[in-house]
A and B are shown apart, each in its own frame.
Chain A
Amino acid sequence: MVAEQTSKKPFSVTLRVWRQAGPTVPGKFVDYPATNISPDMSFLEMLDVVNDELTKKGEEPIAIAHDCREGICGTCSCTINGKPHGPGKGVATCQTYMRSYREGDLILVEPFRARAFPVIKDLVTDRKAFDKIQQAGGFISVRTGAAPDANSIPVPKEDADLAMDAASCIGCGACVAACKNASAMLFVAAKVSQLGLLPQGQPERDKRVLAMVQTMDDAGFGNCTNQYECSAVCPKLISHDFIARLNRDYMAALFKARFRPTSNAAAGGA
């Protein structure tokens, strides 16, 4: 990580931004000056300033995904100087501050790149493949109103804490963008681990992991080759240890699926 500057003096940088008018047309890098930038500005606030200047000139502003601007919604998704979410550790693009840069810097800004995340426009990509994976099994089937008292199932604090570590995933896709294989293993591992660590998640544990991995493969994400770029760029610092947990659960589920006896009820009961 670059040392942050402590000066409050405004400075100027050059942005080299990926511009692409639509999903089916080729894109290219275009340079824009960003002048009079305060070190206290966030990276997105700096882009706001650049975009307002483009608008005043009658040019189309740079399309960029953003929303909460506090690192929790997972909308923002820029690769900055080759690193998803920029130079900081454990932060999203929106939590990147200009004090990480210096006068005269050239900053390369691209969308997250992966086959499963096609570009919609400029820096905005389509990440609905993540939703599809969740829909395949990222849940515990509990109808509203059917739940037992919350304290009737104690959960060891260590398990709950570990489940929370996994659950803090914001679904941004930086793990995919950082991976040379564009693998979504960290994303899938986080959800599989969260639910697999809790007693409530046990009944569907095997079914869940098989369905989610299958959907991940179908969506065009690559395989994991244990390089851990994913956890290095994760804005929530989710550990790649969860990938080991996913692999173990997946193997166990495959094995059990082969040898588990099936009940006649599966063919339809009364």
Chain B
Amino acid sequence: MAKLDSKVPSGPLADKWQKHKTEIKLVNPANKRKYEVIVVGAGLAGSSAAATLAELGYKVKNFVFHDSPRRAHSIAAQGGINAAKNYQNDGDSVHRLFYDTLKGGDYRAREANVHRLAEVSVNIIDQCAAQGVPFAREYGGLLANRSFGGAQVSRTFYARGQTGQQLLLGAYSALSRMIGQGGVEMHNNSEMLDLVVVDGHAKGIIVRDLNTGVISRHSADAVILATGGYGNVFNLSTYARQSNATAIWRAYKRGACLANPCYTQIHPTCIPVSGDYQSKLTLMSESLRNDGRIWVPKKKEDAKKDPASIPEADRDYYLERIYPSFGNLAPRDVSSRAAMRMCDEGRGVGETGLGVYLDFADVIKRLGEPVVRERYGNLFDIYHEITAENAYKTPMRIFPAVHYTMGGLWVDYNLMSNIPGLFVLGEANFSDHGANRLGASALMQGLADGYFVIPYTIGNYLADQKPGSRPKTDGMEFKQAEENVSSMSQRLLANKGKEPVSHFHKRLGKIMWDHCGMARNKAGLEAALQKIPALREEFWANVKVPGSGDTLNQSLEQAGRVADYMELGELLCRDALTRDESCGGHFREEYQHPDGECKRDDEKFGHVAAWEYQGEGKTPLRNTEPLNYEFTKMSVRSYK
């Protein structure tokens, strides 16, 4: 049974991080260069961590499967990044950002982690502005803000609809600087395929060079995973096609606990699916909900009509109606489920009936098309490319899609997993968003972890490791891990199947979406737990992976990732089935209030569920970490 000690420091909530920073161990500057740290992933969390640790003097090796660290999927985040700057003088504060984030997460996150996140949020904006991130500004030259879901203040900083891109390029520039100076050894096109654990500590990884197929061993004094979320287990999502769970899943199989996998976020505003060939779903930023109004026809028979022909009186602006104080800016989980209820009632729009309108007619009338174009032009362009429709003239059609995973590898307050020496940052960990993440908080967390948390907390671990004590890569553990990797590749390549990998990924995605998507129930989850192992068996019997392992082989890459989803998907359903309550992104139909809102069970489930691998074919162990709310009251979330 894994030991899950959150290591949350004692003392008043607002003082914990300060106190912790002054109490944890330091590594002296001359010793830092004797430590090697592996960072896997180069999104916001990975590149900010790699750059900062190198600045401090650690020897950093950064691995990324992309051809350049600038391509990590943080780049696609559109809307913004939250920070408690209170530049708008509208009553924001660290406490308010903390409270909104905790409440938005439906009281399933650690108080102390969330408070720290809110505290360092202000430093992130300073850091990024200094790096030359071209944030939106007012005419006076000061930074502009906008509002995002789940908040009643304007605290979101943005760079047009490309905030993720600009923040990532900022972190990439810091990383590039350190690569240029020799502080970071960069490994592009390099996918981590196993974690090496020596004497109970994470001390290395096994990597496949995607261009040459060469498998190599790398040792270090500590390993940091910043490899993103696992939303592609659903096949269709807003994730990039290559985003995958392989690094965290293989770490899980080496003993790292995977926490709350059932907390998955469905984003309410994505472009609806158009056909079976669909490879991804495109997000329309939440920022659009600042000015767009969401509606469906009041009458079912109007659902197929031209929206322009439906008079105002026959439209149901359902978010404004049900949640008058938050309106169109209700949190993501709440808005997604509301959209689904409208479609279930037969009032969904578009060819498939799986869509709702996001209408800009009012704001265009109020402010004029040029202002709307300046605010959201690139999003309207994306919408036009995909649907061939002009959203300045006719409302957008949107539908919820898988967007983010709040669950991830379990970490303590220091962001260290239950395997000593293994740290997990950004979306790959479970720590800050509870059961639902608010908009513009992912960028905040990724950069908080990488710039401002790990640089302190990793020292606390390394100070206890003797400099130069990291193992050589010729030991048993490295050899065994490498064999594990190459035998899996060989097995996939030698398989005499008939179907391409995508065939199985699509089918798994359908099972996941149908039974473990926006709403879940016991019978459906039990069915999924039958169907997934059967599909997994079929995958291994019938998958076809052409080509060889000693060259660029995209089928082989994809096959390994989908093989992992086949296992992860099952764990996700198992977690969802065990959690007999509804909270945030985990909605169990059996547990709801009469108005369709989540019904939590704090008594029984006011804890983190951290799953521990027990070996192939064995049921994993469910460990729990109680969530002790010392400073806030777990209350029923209301956005009405």
Contact = CB atoms under 8 A, between A and B. Distances in A.
B188 A200 contact: no
A147 B129 contact: yes
Contacts of A128: 67-68, 188
Given A44-B279, A135-B177, A140-B131, A69 B143 contact: no
Given A69-B241, A74-B71, A147 B137 contact: no
Contact of A145 (B76, B127, B133): B127
Interface in A38-84: 38, 40-42, 44-46, 48-49, 51-52, 54-56, 58-61, 63-75
A155 B173 contact: no
For B67, B132, B243, which residue has the most chain A Cβ atoms within 10 angstroms? Answer: B132
Contact of A198 (B55, B134, B173, B241): B134
Contacts of B180: 135-136
A12 B551 CA distance: 31
Nearest to A121: B552
Contacts of B130: 140, 142, 146-148, 150, 200
A91 B385 CA distance: 9
B357 interface: no
Interface stretch (A164-172, A224-232, A242-250): A164-172
Chain A CB within 10 Å — which of B136, B141, B275, B452 has the most?
A: B141
Nearest to A54: B546
Interface residues of A, number: 84
A94 to B, nearest CB: 9
Nearest to B138: A157
Nearest to A10: B275
A261 B502 CA distance: 63
B499 A56 contact: yes
Contacts of A54: 546
Given A38-B275, A38-B277, A194 B67 contact: no
A164 B160 contact: yes
Interface string A81-98: 000000010110001010
Contact of A160 (B131, B136, B499): B136
Interface in B495-552: 498-500, 502-503, 544, 546-547, 551-552
B274 A40 contact: yes
A194 B498 CA distance: 51
A147 B127 CA distance: 5
Given A144-B51, A150-B85, A200 B385 contact: no
A18 interface: no
B75 interface: yes
Contacts of B165: 72, 168, 170
Nearest to B243: A67
Contacts of A64: 554
A68 B76 contact: yes
Interface residues of B, number: 83
Nearest to A162: B134
A163 interface: yes
A40 B385 contact: no
B133 to A, nearest CB: 8
A104 interface: no
Contacts of B502: 48, 52
Interface in A180-220: 194-195, 198, 200-201
A68 to B, nearest CB: 4
Contact of B131 (A6, A41, A63, A139): A139
Interface string B550-591: 011011000000000000000000000000000000000000
Interface string B145-163: 0000000000000011010
A55 B546 contact: yes
A138 B240 CA distance: 26
Contacts of A136: 180
Contact of A67 (B73, B140, B173, B388): B73
A195 B188 CA distance: 25
A44 B279 CA distance: 9
Contact of B126 (A41, A95, A150): A150
Given A136-B180, A147-B129, A73 B55 contact: no
B2 interface: no
A70 B165 CA distance: 12
A153 interface: yes
Contacts of A124: 552
A156 B173 contact: no
Contacts of A157: 137-139, 141
A21 B499 CA distance: 23
A64 B87 CA distance: 45
B457 interface: no
B141 A198 contact: no
Most chain B CB atoms below 10 A, which of A46, A160, A200? A160
Contacts of A140: 130-132, 173
A27 interface: no
B173 A139 contact: yes
B386 interface: yes
A160 B134 contact: yes
Contacts of B283: 70
B135 interface: yes
Interface in B163-196: 165-166, 169, 172-174, 176-177, 179-180, 186, 188
A262 interface: no
Nearest to B455: A144
B141 A144 contact: no
A144 B66 CA distance: 25
Contacts of A6: 388
Nearest to B77: A72
23 contacts: A6-B388, A41-B277, A42-B386, A46-B277, A52-B502, A56-B500, A60-B546, A68-B71, A72-B76, A73-B71, A121-B211, A121-B551, A128-B188, A138-B173, A140-B131, A141-B177, A144-B452, A145-B452, A148-B126, A154-B141, A155-B137, A163-B132, A200-B132
**What are the 3 closest A-B residue pairs judged by CB atoms, nearest first?**
A154-B141, A147-B130, A135-B180
